């Protein structure tokens, strides 16, 4: 890990001339593989299964982009990054995109020179405590020891939250989710804080998930989304519209089950445009005409991907909530494909 | 008759730069130097160009912005509204703390183990051999992580101390609590405190020094000085008369009586840790990360130091020991008066590198979440501001300065010891 920070810094520093320049789309096509930065392991979002295949919600986004660009959802090289190394890895060109539950903030977008292409999960920061602690609200955590992943927005939200409520805490900085889990379960910290989705995923992997509760307070807005380097708009467009295609597909009722049938032509022009049987959206984007079809076939539309990886029927058990389509009272809203 | 003629002044030709051996080596060196400078220049301009392409011109302005994050172990006042520079300073002090603690413990342990490894007692020398081989052949990062895991997994959590029939209890007459969050030990408090001096005003390097501590150190030093004077007088009397006056009680007295008097005057008492809320409050909290890092670094470095000490002792010829024994010195005095002073000359130079190693290895602190300069400046600050190049270079500069200062002090000490040679 240390090495990758340093190598990343060095690469930024000098040797990767042109890595940051425009042309990621051509680079990916030439390489035949998409380098996608993911977490070091968060069940449901990105974690290798027993056979070493990466799977999860964020992984699904990577595979969709690979399918859109290269036509092959398996042509992805997953690069595990920690909260600390992710930005250096992206800025240096080590990865082409990050799909790593990363919060879209002003300074990351503007000052750190990245482009967030959209939001694939609307989240907020929460706290998990053992039931035995007898705490029912985050405001009762005065003096508590809090495990926190270092280099994240949660670290800053935490400081703000305790300052605002005028209570004290002792931060225990940790590097990865696995370390946080170990310290939390051993009682080296009273509470573990991260995005509520991450807490649910972590809790699901415990031996006795019911011994732990996630407190009701959500102390921040955490719009999580994929991001690319600033300044390469063609590549940014590819990732942005791949994500939009997944969201629009759910809205328009395109699923992995009926996509073959729909791509023979329908009487809904927008579906036709998305699936490439009408218009030339793929050509405008610089990819093949059936890009969106490939992306949707990679893991299903947004809703299917959600249900398969983190939905209510999985061990993570997250409800759609804010992440429902706008037609269902959620925040997901894809701009039109026209 | 001799005619002295000046040798004809050969006119300098450019080809001489290559074919004339007088100039050739200089030519090559200058060419190599130019090549080297061009390489450096290319690296710098390429870096600047790439950063400009990314839209990230190097700038250190971020250091003045509010850090926004909290640090658990603070030797000076700090909160999340202070600047990144202040956070870096807090981290720097944490680095220095663990480096100083580590060097001290490693030296004591290393010298003891090195001497014991030469013991004639078979069991002791073998145990020490096992220790040395075990610690120096496993990467220090693994030791740090292992010790941290042991602390976290085996020691009780603060919650276990609660209740009528707690699972865990405090040690040493309820004054010390060993928990998996660290050790809580009594702290020194002064009811008639002299207060603090505030150094460096309101800058990021502001630093409070306790006047109580200064007073105690001053009294202690004065006592030691007086004690040394008494010893010198006694030596002089012994030289002159051959009889050594009994002075040990005076020497102890001048050190301890003023010290005790100052402690009483300042109203010295201990503050004990007590379980309140989620954690122990009061007392001094030695965090688990500090303990793991400190122990691992000192145990690891002690293994190397012990080998250096052993080599130093073995380098002193056996004739010295025999000569000293012939003069009637006992083995312990031979070691202290004859062998060690000579061995020190050999030991100190490699010891300096071990101190430097320990200090640099302390940057592994992030493995256990110890907030040193790597964790603050090159960790969170780098991540929150996206200033990789600036923070890493600043961090390198700081480590360089720390290491050079250690070298400077140790070289000075080395020169002092060297002068003893006749």
The range of the structural domain enclosing residue B303 comes to 61-142+286-422
Confidence of residue B389 (pLDDT cuts 50, 70, 90): confident
Residues B135 and B82 in one domain: yes
Say what the pLDDT of residue B1 is: 53
Say if the Cβ atoms of A145 and B278 lie within 8 Å: yes
The model's pLDDT over B314-347, given as tens digits with 9 standing for 90+, comes to 999 889 999 999 999 998 889 888 888 888 888 9
B2 in a structural domain: no
Which residues partner with A172 through β-bridges?
A147
For residue A154, which of A112, A198, A111 has the smallest C-alpha distance? A198
Share of chain B above pLDDT 70, in %: 97
Residues B352 and B393 in one domain: yes
Closest Cβ opposite residue A20 in set B53, B159, B367: B53
Say what the pLDDT of residue A162 is: 92
- What average pLDDT does range A233-257 have in this prediction? 94
The model's pLDDT over A55-101, given as tens digits with 9 standing for 90+, comes to 999 999 999 999 999 999 999 999 999 888 898 899 889 999 999 98
Say if the Cβ atoms of B389 and A13 lie within 8 Å: yes
Distance CA B289, CA A281 (A): 55
Which backbone phi and psi does B52 adopt, to 5 degrees? -65, -40
The model's pLDDT over B396-421, given as tens digits with 9 standing for 90+, comes to 999 999 999 999 998 888 888 775 55
Query: In this structure, are residues A217 and A139 in contact, taking their beta carbons and an 8 Å threshold?
Result: yes
B374 in a structural domain: yes
So where are chain A's domains? 2-122+224-328, 125-220
Q: Tell me how far apart the terminal alpha carbons of chain B are, to the nearest angstrom.
A: 58
Minimal Cα–Cα distance from B43 to chain A, Å?
Answer: 6
Say if the Cβ atoms of B386 and A87 lie within 8 Å: yes
Residues B252 and B303 in one domain: no
pLDDT at residue A4 greater than cutoff 60? no
Say what the pLDDT of residue B138 is: 94
What is the b/e burial string over A216-246, where b = at least 16 CB atoms within 10 angstroms of the residue's CB?
A: ebbbbebbbbbbbbbbbeebbbbbbbbbbbb
Say what the pLDDT of residue B421 is: 53
pLDDT at residue A246 greater than cutoff 90? yes
B90 in a structural domain: yes
Which backbone phi and psi does B68 adopt, to 5 degrees? 85, -10
What residues of chain A lie within 8 A of the CB of B369, using their CB?
A: 150, 172-175
B273 in a structural domain: no
Distance CA A180, CA B16 (A): 70
Residues B261 and B292 in one domain: no
- What average pLDDT does range A273-278 have in this prediction? 90
Structure tokens at B283: 């007392």
Which class is domain A125-220? alpha beta
Which of B50, B378, B390 is the best substitution to test chain A (most A C-beta atoms within 10 A)?
A: B50
Least confident of A315-329, B6-20, B305-319: B6-20
Q: How many helices (H) and strands (E) does chain B have?
A: 14, 9
The model's pLDDT over B131-181, given as tens digits with 9 standing for 90+, comes to 999 999 999 999 999 999 999 999 998 888 887 788 888 887 788 889 999
What residues of chain B lie within 8 A of the CB of A186, using their CB?
A: 152-153, 157, 180
The CATH number of the domain holding residue B385 is 1.10.3720.10
Q: Where are the alpha helices (DSSP H) in chain A?
A: 2-10, 24-31, 57-70, 86-91, 106-110, 153-164, 177-185, 196-204, 233-252, 259-262, 269-275, 281-285, 291-299, 302-309
Structure tokens at B182: 């660290």
What residues of chain B lie within 8 A of the CB of A20, using their CB?
A: 50, 53-54
The model's pLDDT over B58-111, given as tens digits with 9 standing for 90+, comes to 888 899 999 989 999 998 889 889 999 999 999 999 999 999 999 999 999 999
Higher pLDDT, B360 or A153: B360
Tally of CB atoms within 10 A around B47? 18
Distance CA A80, CA A62 (A): 13
Residues B294 and B410 in one domain: yes
A positions 151-180 inside 8 Å of B (CB): 151, 155-156, 158-160, 162-163, 169-175
Residues B247 and B312 in one domain: no
Residues B419 and B335 in one domain: yes
Say what the pLDDT of residue B39 is: 96
Mean pLDDT score across all residues of chain A: 88
Confidence of residue A11 (pLDDT cuts 50, 70, 90): very low
The model's pLDDT over B7-32, given as tens digits with 9 standing for 90+, comes to 666 677 888 888 888 888 888 999 99
B405 in a structural domain: yes
A2-122+224-328 has which CATH code?
Answer: 3.40.190.10
What residues of chain B lie within 8 A of the CB of A8, using their CB?
A: 388
Say if the Cβ atoms of A182 and B152 lie within 8 Å: yes
Domain count, chain B: 2
A231: contact with B, CB 8 A cutoff: yes
Count chain A–chain B contacts defined by CB atoms under 8 A. Answer: 136
Residues B301 and B377 in one domain: yes
Confidence of residue A13 (pLDDT cuts 50, 70, 90): very low
Say what the pLDDT of residue B162 is: 82
Say what the pLDDT of residue B247 is: 86
Say what the pLDDT of residue B2 is: 60
Mean pLDDT score across all residues of chain B: 89
Distance CA A296, CA A244 (A): 11
Identify the residue whose tokens are 């082409």. A96
The model's pLDDT over A158-217, given as tens digits with 9 standing for 90+, comes to 999 999 999 999 999 988 888 889 999 999 999 999 988 889 889 988 999 889 999 988
Query: In this structure, are residues B377 and B88 in contact, taking their beta carbons and an 8 Å threshold?
Result: yes
Distance CA A52, CA B186 (A): 50
For residue A165, which of A196, A140, A190 has the smallest C-alpha distance? A140
Say if the Cβ atoms of A83 and B56 lie within 8 Å: no
Confidence of residue B3 (pLDDT cuts 50, 70, 90): low
Residues B342 and B241 in one domain: no
B262 in a structural domain: yes
pLDDT at residue A15 greater than cutoff 70? no
Which residues partner with A148 through β-bridges?
A173, A193
CA distances from A162 to A155, A183, B240, B297, B315 (A): 11, 21, 73, 34, 61
Query: In this structure, are residues B115 and B260 in contact, taking their beta carbons and an 8 Å threshold?
Result: no
A positions 50-89 inside 8 Å of B (CB): 83-84, 87-88
The model's pLDDT over B250-297, given as tens digits with 9 standing for 90+, comes to 888 989 999 999 899 888 888 888 888 888 888 889 999 999 999 999
Confidence of residue B205 (pLDDT cuts 50, 70, 90): confident
Structure tokens at A21: 């320049």
Closest Cβ opposite residue A14 in set B46, B53, B371: B46
Do A2-122+224-328 and A125-220 show the same overall fold? yes
Question: What is the ipTM metric for this complex?
Answer: 0.78
Residues 6+ apart with CB under 8 A from B289: B73, B148, B182, B365, B368, B369, B370
Residues B399 and B313 in one domain: yes
pLDDT at residue A20 greater than cutoff 60? no
Say what the pLDDT of residue B106 is: 96
Say what the pLDDT of residue A2 is: 46
Last residue of a domain, one of B219, B237, B267: B267
A positions 254-313 inside 8 Å of B (CB): none
């Amino acid at each position: 890990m240390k090495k990758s920070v340093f190598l990343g810094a060095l690469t930024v520093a000098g040797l990767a001339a042109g890595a940051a320049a425009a042309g990621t789309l051509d680079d990916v096509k030439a390489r035949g593989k998409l380098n996608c930065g993911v977490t070091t392991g968060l069940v449901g979002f990105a974690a290798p299964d027993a056979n070493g295949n990466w799977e999860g919600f964020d992984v699904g986004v990577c595979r969709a982009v690979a399918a859109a660009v290269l036509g092959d959802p398996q042509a992805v090289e997953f690069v595990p990054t920690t909260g600390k190394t992710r930005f250096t890895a992206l800025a240096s060109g080590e990865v082409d995109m990050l799909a790593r539950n990363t919060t879209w903030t002003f300074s990351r977008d503007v000052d750190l020179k990245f482009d967030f292409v959209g939001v694939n999960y609307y989240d907020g920061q929460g706290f998990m405590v053992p039931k035995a602690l007898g705490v029912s609200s985050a405001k009762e955590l005065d003096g508590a020891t809090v495990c926190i992943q270092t280099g994240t927005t949660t670290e800053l939200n935490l400081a703000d939250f305790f300052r605002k409520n005028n209570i004290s805490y002792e931060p225990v900085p940790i590097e990865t989710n696995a370390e946080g889990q170990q310290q939390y379960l051993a009682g080296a910290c009273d509470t573990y804080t991260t995005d509520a989705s991450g807490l649910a995923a972590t809790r699901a992997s415990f031996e006795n998930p019911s011994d732990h509760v996630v407190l009701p307070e959500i102390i921040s807005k955490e719009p999580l989304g994929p991001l690319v380097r600033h300044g390469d708009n063609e590549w940014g467009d590819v990732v942005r519209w791949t994500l939009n295609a997944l969201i629009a597909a759910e809205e328009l009722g395109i699923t992995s089950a009926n996509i073959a049938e729909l791509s023979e032509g329908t009487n809904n022009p927008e579906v036709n445009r998305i699936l490439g049987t009408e218009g030339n959206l793929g050509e405008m984007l610089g990819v093949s005409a059936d890009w969106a079809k490939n992306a949707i076939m990679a893991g299903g539309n947004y809703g299917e991907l959600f249900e398969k990886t983190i939905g209510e029927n999985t061990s993570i058990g997250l409800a759609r909530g804010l992440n429902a389509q706008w037609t269902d009272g959620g925040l997901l809203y894809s701009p039109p494909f026209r | 008759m001799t005619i002295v003629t000046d040798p004809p002044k050969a006119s300098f030709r450019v080809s001489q730069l290559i074919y004339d051996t007088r100039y050739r080596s200089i030519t090559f060196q200058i060419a190599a130097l130019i090549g080297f400078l061009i390489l450096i220049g290319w690296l710098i301009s390429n870096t600047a160009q790439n950063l400009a392409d990314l839209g990230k011109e190097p700038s250190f302005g971020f250091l003045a912005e509010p850090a926004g994050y909290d640090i658990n172990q603070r030797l000076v006042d700090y909160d999340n509204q202070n600047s990144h520079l202040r956070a870096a300073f807090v981290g720097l002090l944490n680095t220095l703390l663990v480096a100083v603690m580590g060097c001290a413990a490693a030296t004591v342990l290393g010298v003891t183990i090195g001497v014991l490894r030469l013991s004639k007692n078979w069991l002791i020398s073998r145990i020490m051999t096992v220790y040395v081989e075990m610690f120096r052949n496993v990467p220090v990062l693994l030791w740090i992580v292992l010790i941290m895991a042991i602390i976290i997994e085996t020691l009780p959590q603060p919650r276990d101390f609660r209740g009528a029939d707690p699972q865990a209890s405090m040690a040493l007459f309820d004054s010390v609590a060993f928990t998996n969050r660290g050790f809580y030990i009594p702290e020194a408090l002064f009811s008639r405190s002299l207060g603090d001096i505030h150094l460096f005003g309101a800058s990021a390097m502001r630093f409070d020094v306790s006047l109580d501590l200064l007073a105690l150190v001053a009294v202690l030093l004065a006592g030691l000085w007086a004690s040394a004077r008494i010893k010198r007088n006694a030596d002089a009397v012994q030289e002159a008369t051959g009889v050594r006056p009994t002075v040990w009680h005076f020497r102890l007295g001048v050190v301890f009586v003023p010290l005790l008097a100052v402690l009483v005057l300042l109203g010295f008492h201990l503050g004990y840790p007590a379980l309140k809320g989620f954690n122990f409050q009061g007392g001094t909290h030695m965090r688990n990360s500090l303990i793991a890092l400190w122990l691992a670094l000192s145990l690891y470095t002690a293994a190397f130091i012990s080998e250096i000490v052993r080599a130093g002792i073995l380098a002193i010829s056996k004739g010295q020991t025999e000569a000293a024994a012939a003069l009637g010195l006992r083995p312990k005095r031979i070691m202290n008066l004859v062998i060690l002073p000579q061995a020190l000359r050999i030991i100190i130079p490699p010891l300096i590198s071990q101190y430097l190693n320990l200090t640099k290895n302390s940057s592994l602190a992030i493995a256990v979440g110890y907030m040193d300069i790597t964790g603050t400046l090159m960790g969170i600050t780098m991540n929150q501001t996206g200033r990789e190049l600036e923070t890493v270079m600043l961090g390198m500069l700081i480590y360089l300065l720390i290491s050079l200062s250690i070298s400077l002090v140790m070289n000075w000490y080395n020169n002092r010891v060297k002068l003893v040679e006749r």
